[in-house]
Copies of this chain bind each other. A is one copy, B any other.
Amino acid sequence: MLLVMKQNATQDQIDDVIERIEAAGFTARPIPGGHRTAIGILHNQGAVDPARFQGLPGVKELIPVTRPYKLVSRETKPENTVVRMGDVAIGEGKPVLMAGPCAVESLEQCMAIGKSVKESGAEMFRGGAFKPRTSPYSFQGLGEEGLKILAAVREETGLKIVTEVMDNETFDLVEEYSDMVQIGTRNMQNFALLRRAGLAKKPVMLKRGMSATIDEWLMAAEYIMERGNDQIVLCERGIRTFAMHSRNTLDLSAITVVRKESHLPIITDPSHAGGHRCQVGPLARASAAMGVDGMMIEVHNDPAAALSDGGQSLYPHQFSKLAQQIFDIHDLVRTQGEI
């Protein structure tokens, strides 16, 4: 933290601020400047909130300097984390494709889609059994029945299962049936859910909140890691901006920053970001060119009859073509290396 004093702050005000900083257990380091004094606050990552110093007489503003996260930080652990589920490894090079319908609708539907995406190169099957819907009148998912269908798809195809968990009541159930539990964008700061995920025996995919900064996102991952689960995959799925031509704005620059700041693998969800079928291919190829560790893509065998998100689901033949494109771009970019 850097505390900037007003130009006309008196020495008494400066001394008082320093005294309060030290009384709170921090170290104060005054930095006299040309026009004003700034005061560094060191060792401020504990339970006490330095925001308290903000309104003191003579104080102009408070500027955070160090990042608040520890366990997820690359400064703590320089090498990449690889998240493993059997023979599937996220963060080891090849992008892991997770494909399937928005919502699990029936065994037939899932089996058909599952076989198709498996053949196209997907390693994981996605599909919601519990669905977060804006409206209480929208289809809310099949629940446990949906989880059983997912398990059947795994049984038949060998695809690993990733599916969303929405609350602690159903966490055990979701954890049992899935290979990776997904925490959705609306729950990124559902701290009870994060804490439970920290005790899970399965990897966790943590989607970025629609309006979360990278700091907030990594701090949400820190909640999980702090409880003991270090198998976390971050998923950039678009942020909310004024631009309404796509459902959300895919923030690809976040990938570069997350990789600098953290050792955790990161994937994208071009389907939810784009929100329109025609957006998915281009955003997926762009993600591949960023070298992401994987992608979630919605695929439906009959999008025009889908119970949710039909407009953004790919047809199986589209996914098949796209998967190959993604692998080819990824291979190319990998051989290219950094500039």
Q: A142 at interface (Cβ–Cβ under 8 A)?
A: no
How many residues in A have their beta carbons less than 8 Å from beta carbons of B?
Answer: 125
Q: B213 contacts A242, CB within 8 Å?
A: yes
Number of copies: 4
- Across the interface, do A279 and B304 meet the contact criterion of CB distance under 8 Å? no
Q: How far is the CA of A200 from the CA of B321 in the complex (A)?
A: 44
Q: Which residues of B contact A260 (CB under 8 A)?
A: 278
Give complex CA distance A136, B47 in Å.
Answer: 9
> Is residue A274 contacting chain B, with contact meaning CB distance below 8 A?
yes
What 1/0 flags go to A295-339 for Cβ under 8 Å of B?
Answer: 000000001111111111010001101101100110011001011
* A58 contacts partner chain B, Cβ-Cβ < 8 Å: no
Complex interface: chain B residues within 8 A of A56 (CB): 304
Show the binding face of A for B, using Cβ within 8 Å.
Answer: 2, 4, 6-8, 20, 24, 27, 29, 31, 33-36, 38, 40, 42-43, 45-49, 51-56, 62-63, 65-66, 68-70, 75, 132-139, 166-169, 186-193, 210-211, 213-216, 219, 222-223, 226, 239-246, 249-257, 260, 273-274, 276-279, 281-283, 285-291, 303-312, 314, 318-319, 321-322, 324-325, 328-329, 332-333, 336, 338-339
